[in-house]
Structure formats: structure tokens, C-alpha cells
């Protein structure tokens, strides 16, 4: 028998519909179940889902319903939210926990409000480690809608850290950032910063590896993880990657971007906020996809034209490439 999603007294199970049971969504469902919540999951893959369709998921939940959408951003999310808005009832709440652009949230909110349905956007960080460590959550929505989903957020977020006296430090790992759109805007900026941090670590790694003076590059990187001002979880993950592949020989230097770095730079331009580091890290990813940079071809040609500097013929470059 389905339970009421907002009956959250001690000892009560909280119910959630979860759409998208991939790496993130599947782990989130498992973390919530471990916390005692009832999860009704739907995924396009038959082996993962509890119900066969979105109508069946809605039917399985008691009113007022809370449904979390965890599918790829863009058209998949738009289509899912639109279908849900046609199935849910006034008082129900939709949460978009994917990497949607904040402007999409504002459009979805208007559509849902017209039907009396609440809408929350939630930026989620934690990746595949979130199952055990918890997820950092950045939430946008009304206080009333967020309160309906608060037990879910409380179960997903990391355990509260404690200060030297043993008191919990409030706010760590979770924030109600503002109205609809604020959650994904916060996550967008978070990911822009992430781009820049990864680029800085990568450049430091390359310089260490480029000189004969440093005999233990992975050891130097690992030494930075304790007692230094640049220690971070990302640095820990770089150490892990170097333990598995010390020279990173099994990895191509091609780096995709999920879109949020681009959106961050767009907002920097729109708001006249100087953001050279994040912008440079985004452009570096674009450079990683070029086998031979047209820009640098032009630079080489110009150096040859004004100074007579030597240029390498394409045939010579191809001959030098390893098979």
C-alpha cells in the first residue's frame, strides 16, 4: 500500500518516484532505500525499472506525489517533464536533478504552475561516489515545495561534518539556493570552477612529467593531498588515476564538456563578470579535440612570413607520429 509522501513523522517511510536509473540515478535510489524510503523507479532499460511506464509510476504513488527526474539534460528532460505535467495532479511536485540549464527550469516551472504542480530544480554533485559519501545538493524552488521533498534531500546529502567541539556544521553539502533556477545556476557555476581546477591540476602534472629533474611524478602529486592549500577531492582522484596508470598511457587527451562550462562563460559575458580562468579551461577542452590546430597552422605560417622561421610540412609531422 502506497504511503503519503509528506507524512514524515518519525518512523514513517517517505515515498519517491525516480525516473532514470543510470549510474547516478541508480545509486541515488539505493542510498534512499538504505535510508528507509520507498522508491518506485522507472528507466527505459527493462531490467532496472519497477514499473513499465510513466503512467504506471504515477499510479503507484500516493498523493501528493514527489517525482524526481534524473535523465540527460535538454530534450530528454523536457519531454519527461512535459509528460509528467500531464499525468500528475495539483499539489504534486517534480524535481529535476539532472544538469539542466537554469532557463529551462523557469520554463518548466511556468508550465507546472499552470496545472497546480510544484517544481524544484536540484543541482547534484557527487558522481559515482555519492552512494557511500552522499551528494552535494543545490536546490531551487519555493519553501513549500522544498519542504515536501526535504526528507529526500536529507537522506541524499552527506553526513554533517563536525567542528572541533563535536558540534555539527550547518549547511555543508546542502543549500536551498533560491527560487526555481537557482539550484541549477549554482551547479553551473560549480562545474565551471571544476573545469578550472581540473585544468590547473592537469597543467601542473604535465610540467612535472616534462622535466627529468622529477623522478616520481605520481609521488609528488600524492604528497600534495595532505597539509597543502591545494588539497581537494579532485586531487585525490588524480592520485587514484595515476596509481592505476602512472603515465596516463591508456587515456586519450580528448576531453568533452557537458555544456555547463559554456553556460557559465555565457553568464559571465552577460553579467560583465571577468572569468578568464574558467573561460581558458573551457577553450582548452576544445583544443583537446583537434588533431592539428588550424589556429596554430596560421601562427606557424605567419612566423614564416614575417621572420622566415622554419615550418614543418604535413608529411614530416605524419612521419613522426607513432603508429
Catalytic residue set: 187, 194
DSSP lists the bridge partners of residue 138 as 123, 175
Consecutive H or E run containing 172: none
All three cell numbers of 30, joined, read 539505493
Consecutive H or E run containing 214: none
Q: Could you tell me which residues come within 8 angstroms of residue 315 by beta carbon, excluding any fewer than 6 positions away?
A: none
Consecutive H or E run containing 40: strand 38-42
SS3 266: helix
Distance set, CA 147 to CA 7, 63, 139, 162, 190 (Å): 11, 15, 11, 24, 24
Given a contact cutoff of 8 angstroms between Cβ atoms, the answer to whether 70 and 130 are in contact is no
Q: Are strands 93-96 and 118-125 parallel, antiparallel or unpaired?
A: parallel
Q: How far apart are CA 68 and CA 28, in angstroms?
A: 10
Q: What is the CA radius of gyration of the chain?
A: 24
Instruction: Tell me how far apart the terminal alpha carbons of the chain are, to the nearest angstrom.
Output: 63
DSSP lists the bridge partners of residue 95 as 68, 120
Q: How far apart are CA 19 and CA 42, in angstroms?
A: 5
Given a contact cutoff of 8 angstroms between Cβ atoms, the answer to whether 17 and 65 are in contact is yes
Amino acid at each position: 500500500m502506497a504511503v503519503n509522501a509528506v507524512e514524515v513523522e518519525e518512523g514513517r517511510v517517505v515515498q519517491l518516484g525516480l525516473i532514470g536509473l543510470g549510474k547516478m540515478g541508480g545509486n541515488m535510489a539505493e542510498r534512499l532505500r538504505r535510508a528507509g524510503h520507498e522508491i518506485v523507479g522507472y528507466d527505459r532499460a527493462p531490467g532496472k525499472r519497477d514499473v513499465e511506464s510513466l503512467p504506471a509510476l504515477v499510479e503507484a504513488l500516493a498523493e501528493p506525489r514527489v517525482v524526481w527526474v534524473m535523465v540527460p539534460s535538454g530534450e530528454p528532460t523536457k519531454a519527461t517533464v512535459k509528460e509528467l505535467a500531464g499525468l500528475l495532479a495539483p499539489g504534486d511536485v517534480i524535481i529535476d536533478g539532472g544538469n539542466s540549464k537554469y532557463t529551462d527550469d523557469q520554463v518548466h516551472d511556468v508550465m507546472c504552475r499552470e496545472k497546480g504542480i510544484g517544481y524544484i530544480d536540484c543541482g547534484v554533485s557527487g558522481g559515482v561516489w555519492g552512494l557511500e559519501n552522499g551528494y552535494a545538493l543545490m536546490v531551487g524552488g519555493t519553501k513549500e515545495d522544498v519542504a515536501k521533498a526535504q526528507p529526500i534531500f536529507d537522506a541524499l546529502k552527506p553526513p554533517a561534518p563536525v567542528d572541533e567541539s563535536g558540534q555539527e556544521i550547518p549547511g555543508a553539502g546542502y543549500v536551498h539556493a533560491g527560487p526555481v533556477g537557482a539550484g541549477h545556476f549554482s551547479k553551473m557555476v560549480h562545474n565551471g570552477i571544476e573545469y578550472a581546477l581540473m585544468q590547473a591540476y592537469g597543467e601542473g602534472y604535465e610540467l612535472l612529467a616534462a622535466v627529468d629533474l622529477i623522478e616520481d611524478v605520481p609521488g609528488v602529486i600524492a604528497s600534495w593531498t595532505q597539509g597543502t592549500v591545494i588539497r581537494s577531492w579532485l586531487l585525490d582522484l588524480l592520485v587514484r588515476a595515476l596509481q592505476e596508470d602512472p603515465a596516463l598511457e591508456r587515456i586519450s587527451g580528448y576531453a568533452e564538456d557537458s555544456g555547463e562550462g559554456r553556460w557559465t562563460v555565457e553568464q559571465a559575458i552577460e553579467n560583465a563578470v571577468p572569468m578568464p580562468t574558467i573561460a581558458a579551461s573551457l577553450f582548452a577542452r576544445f583544443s583537446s579535440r583537434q588533431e592539428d590546430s588550424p589556429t596554430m597552422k596560421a601562427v606557424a605560417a605567419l612566423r614564416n612570413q614575417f621572420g622566415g622561421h622554419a615550418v614543418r610540412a604535413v608529411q614530416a609531422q605524419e612521419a613522426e607520429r607513432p603508429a
